[in-house]
A and B are shown apart, each in its own frame.
Chain A
Amino acid sequence: QKEVEQNSGPLSVPEGAIASLNCTYSDRGSQSFFWYRQYSGKSPELIMFIYSNGDKEDGRFTAQLNKASQYVSLLIRDSQPSDSATYLCAVGFFGNEKLTFGTGTRLTIIP
């Protein structure tokens, strides 16, 4: 059974601080890793993807991947109230379009 684990939260972070969201996965052969943001009542939107070990930065967002530890994280710098949402981690394999989603972490940015 392929599993993706996330702390459901809620995670509360003061505005302007760094929010750190974590995800672990069970299948060591996983190759592609995605972070989606889902606002209440809306569908998920893709924020970032990462395939290689290390960090990948895009604006205020940084994805970190450690395949040895089977761990992927998302850092949000200078957190804004508009970042308040549920963040979904998803894991997949190249050539297989199906993704396994975690249950999501609810993030609240406190003004």
Chain B
Amino acid sequence: GAVVSQHPSRVICKSGTSVKIECRSLDFQATTMFWYRQFPKQSLMLMATSNEGSKATYEQGVEKDKFLINHASLTLSTLTVTSAHPEDSSFYICSAPTSTGAGEQFFGPGTRLTVL
């Protein structure tokens, strides 16, 4: 299957700092990428859809000024958690659909964010 990478895999930061997470499609181009958040023992929650060359589309209840998304190229999307607080501690996962148009999404390995 298609390969999606994420960096970093784990980050610990102090409250009030900003954290940038990168998501890359390694062997295919992705005009769209998705960002999810998952709290322990809970389901995936879609945060936003990242669109190459245009603004991201955020799900209801997700603060676009807090979770900045930039889709800089056909293989890279970044999520920046600004002024992170302990309640932002979570598992952040990106995914990218293949070009088949049928909806198969491949997930990155995820980033574990801990805000102290």
Instruction: Tell me whether B109 is interfacial, beta carbon within 8 Å.
Output: yes
Closest CB in chain A relative to B112 CB, distance in Å: 8
> CA separation between A48 and B108, bound complex, in Å?
17
Q: A43 touches which one: B42, B43, B102, B107 (CB < 8 A)?
A: B107
Q: Within 8 Å CB of B102, what residues of A?
A: 32, 49, 51, 92, 94
Say yes or no: A46 contacts B105, CB within 8 Å: yes
B103 touches A93 (CB 8 A): yes
Cα(A106)–Cα(B62), bound, Å: 27
In terms of DSSP, what is the predominant structure of the interface of chain A? strand
Count of chain A residues with a beta carbon within 8 Å of a chain B beta carbon: 25
Hey, which chain B residues are within 8 Å of A92, CB to CB?
A: 102-103
Is A88 located at the chain interface by the 8 A CB criterion? yes
Can you add 9 more A-B contacts, CB < 8 Å, to A46-B105, A94-B103? A32-B103, A43-B107, A44-B93, A90-B105, A92-B103, A98-B46, A99-B105, A101-B44, A102-B43
**Interface residues, chain A, CB within 8 Å of chain B?**
32, 34, 36, 41-46, 49, 51, 88, 90, 92-99, 101-104
Residues in chain B within 8 A of chain A (CB atoms): 1, 32, 34, 42-44, 46, 49, 91, 93, 97, 101-110
In the A-B complex, the 8 residue pairs with the smallest Cβ-Cβ separation, listed nearest first, are: A92-B103, A97-B97, A103-B43, A43-B107, A43-B110, A32-B103, A43-B93, A44-B107
